[in-house]
Structure formats: structure tokens, C-alpha cells
């Protein structure tokens, strides 16, 4: 059984993971961290976190280990390789993966951990770095209901909307649906604003009007505004959406479901990645259209 104030571990201290770990510490939880890049752990160390040399050593000292890494292969590595979580975690402990990865990988890792008596939840999030900082994330969770209930008080330190979606992988399927809807909407925003500019209108004024009608959305508000203002610098990396749309298409293929809009967005993202813009904010998607039309600002 988990103690009333479990010791926590965190792996993945980037733009999302770092503020999430700090928010847990603000609620009084003891924190241990593992970071491949030591400098990323500095704010946590300053706040009192302990540092461990490997994921296995971290897991041995913790009852719950959170991960916010980048890709499916990264999660498999920190969970299952020779220095992975599986070799340190005790039976009854819980691994909570909060990155966006393949549901197939989630189920495979969950099965391997279960063989050692280790529980797991997949709990990807939506809300971006701002949501991580303000603890207002939407969290979609897959795994055993009883494990979800044990971990829910911790998730409530990180987000406002927390929903148990089903068994292992259900959280990741839900996140794939979220990213699919978001990406297709962003493509629509890019096309609308590119068309407005091509026709001689002021994209800022068009954006203002769109935000006052049925076309309004959080995606149009956030990414559309950045498209208008040409703010393509650091933000929410386009490469993450390239990965996420690929996951959605993989799920659709397995399910025998056509996703024509997703396929088009994936090609746009392929072009964006080919142009070396993967680390730009996702609003840079509009540049793919502008380059094709020869109208890039």
C-alpha cells in the first residue's frame, strides 16, 4: 500500500516536466529526479529534490515515478533497459507515463511491469507549458481503476480536468484524438489566414472577425494569433505534432478507419520537418502553404 505522503520520482525535466515536478513539490511531496541533461534538474535541486544516477536508482527510492519524455522509444528505454525503472521499482509501486506515445508501447511496457508487480498508468496531458506551469492541464488516464484512484490526488496537483478513460493505452488513444483534432484545426487556421493574405486582406483583422464567430477556437486563438504576428520562435515544437499525428494515423490504420484530413496534415508536417523547422512553434505550419504559393513573408 502507498504511504499517505508517497515519495515521488520524475524523469523528463523539459518545458512540461519541470513545472509539473515543481508543482508536486509545492504540495509538500518529497521528490527525486533523473535527468540525462544535468542542467535541466537545477531548478528541482534548488527546490530540494534529490538526484539519482539512473532510472533504476530513482525507482528504488520512490513509490510513484512520473515520466515526461519525448518519444515511445525514450519511454521504453527509461522503463525497461538495463538501468531502467523496472530494475529498481518495488512491487506495488506505480509508474505514470505522461508523455504522448504509442498505445501499443504503453500496453507492452505495462505488461512487462505487471510481471514484476509494478502498476502503471498512461496519463498524457493537454494544455502545453502554460498549463503545466499553472497546474491546469487536462489529463486523460488509462489503467486499472483502483490504481487511478490511488494516484488521482497527485494528478490533481497537476491538472483541472482528470478523466479515467479505460484500460492501459486508453489515455494515449484519447490524446491521439486530441492531437488529431488540434492539428487539423490548426491546418484550417493556417489555410484561412494564408488565403486572407493572398487576397489582399489584413490577416490580423480577419483573425479578429473569425474569433468573434463560429470559427472561434482555442487553436485559432493561440496558433492563429502567432501566425498573424509571425511569432514562430520557441513555443510548442512542431516536431511533437509530427510525431503525434503519426500515432493517430497508425491507430487508424490498425482500426481500418480513413483519416483523410490527418493524412493531409501529416504531409504538411513532413514538408515542415524537411525544411528544418521542427523546433519552431507549431504555428509555423502556415509557412508550408506560403512557400507553396510563393508568398512567404
- Each residue of 261-283: pLDDT tens digit? 999 999 999 999 999 999 999 99
What one-character-per-residue DSSP string does 5-60 give? S--EEEE--STTHHHHHHHHHHTT--EEEE-SSGGGGHHHHHTT-EE-SSHHHHHH
31 pLDDT higher than 90: yes
Q: Specify the fold of 8-167.
A: Rossmann fold (3.40.50)
pLDDT band at 247 (very low <50, low <70, confident <90, very high): very high
Active site residues: 175
* Chain length of the chain: 297
CA nearest to 25, candidates 45, 51, 55: 45
**Is 287:277 a contact under the CB 8 Å cutoff?**
yes
Q: What is the pLDDT of residue 297?
A: 60
Q: Compute the distance between CA of residue 139 and CA of residue 125 in angstroms, rounded to an integer.
A: 5
pLDDT band at 8 (very low <50, low <70, confident <90, very high): very high
pLDDT tens digits for range 193-211: 999 999 999 999 999 999 9
Q: What is the DSSP letter of 71?
A: S
Q: Compute the distance between CA of residue 234 and CA of residue 182 in angstroms, rounded to an integer.
A: 19
For 174-293, the fitting CATH number among 1.10.1040.10, 3.40.50.300, 3.40.190.10, 3.30.365.10 is 1.10.1040.10
Q: Please give the average per-residue pLDDT across 3-26, as a whole number.
A: 93
> In sequence order, which residues have a C-beta less than 8 Å from that of residue 136 and are 6 or more positions away?
127, 159, 160
pLDDT tens digits for range 140-164: 999 999 999 999 999 999 999 999 9
Domain boundaries, the chain: 8-167, 174-293
Q: What is the pLDDT of residue 25?
A: 97
The structure's pTM equals 0.93
1 pLDDT higher than 70: no
Amino acid at each position: 500500500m502507498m504511504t499517505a505522503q508517497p515519495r515521488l520520482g520524475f524523469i523528463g525535466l523539459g518545458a512540461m516536466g519541470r513545472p509539473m515536478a515543481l508543482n508536486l513539490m509545492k504540495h509538500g511531496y518529497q521528490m527525486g529526479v533523473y535527468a540525462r541533461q544535468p542542467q535541466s534538474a537545477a531548478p528541482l535541486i534548488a527546490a530540494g529534490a534529490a538526484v539519482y544516477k539512473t532510472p533504476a536508482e530513482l525507482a528504488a527510492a520512490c513509490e510513484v515515478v512520473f515520466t515526461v519524455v519525448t518519444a515511445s522509444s525514450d519511454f521504453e528505454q527509461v522503463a525497461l533497459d538495463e538501468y531502467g525503472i523496472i530494475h529498481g521499482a518495488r512491487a506495488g509501486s506505480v509508474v505514470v507515463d505522461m508523455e504522448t506515445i504509442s498505445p501499443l508501447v504503453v500496453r507492452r511496457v505495462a505488461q512487462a511491469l505487471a510481471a514484476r508487480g509494478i502498476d502503471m498508468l498512461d496519463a498524457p496531458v493537454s494544455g502545453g507549458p502554460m498549463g503545466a506551469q499553472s497546474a491546469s492541464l487536462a489529463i486523460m488516464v488509462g489503467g486499472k481503476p483502483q490504481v487511478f484512484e490511488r494516484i488521482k490526488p497527485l494528478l490533481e496537483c497537476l491538472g483541472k480536468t482528470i478523466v479515467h478513460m479505460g484500460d492501459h493505452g486508453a489515455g494515449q488513444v484519447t490524446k491521439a484524438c486530441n492531437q488529431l483534432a488540434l492539428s487539423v484545426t490548426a491546418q484550417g487556421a493556417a489555410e484561412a489566414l494564408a488565403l486572407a493574405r493572398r487576397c489582399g486582406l489584413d490577416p490580423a483583422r480577419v483573425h479578429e472577425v473569425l474569433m468573434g464567430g463560429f470559427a472561434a477556437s482555442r487553436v485559432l486563438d493561440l496558433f492563429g494569433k502567432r501566425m498573424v504576428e509571425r511569432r514562430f520562435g520557441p513555443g510548442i515544437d512542431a516536431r511533437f505534432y509530427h510525431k503525434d499525428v503519426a500515432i493517430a494515423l497508425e491507430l487508424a490504420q490498425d482500426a481500418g478507419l480513413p483519416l483523410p484530413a490527418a493524412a493531409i496534415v501529416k504531409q504538411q508536417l513532413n514538408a515542415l520537418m524537411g525544411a528544418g523547422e521542427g523546433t519552431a512553434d507549431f504555428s509555423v505550419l502556415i509557412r508550408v502553404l506560403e512557400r507553396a504559393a510563393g508568398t512567404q513573408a
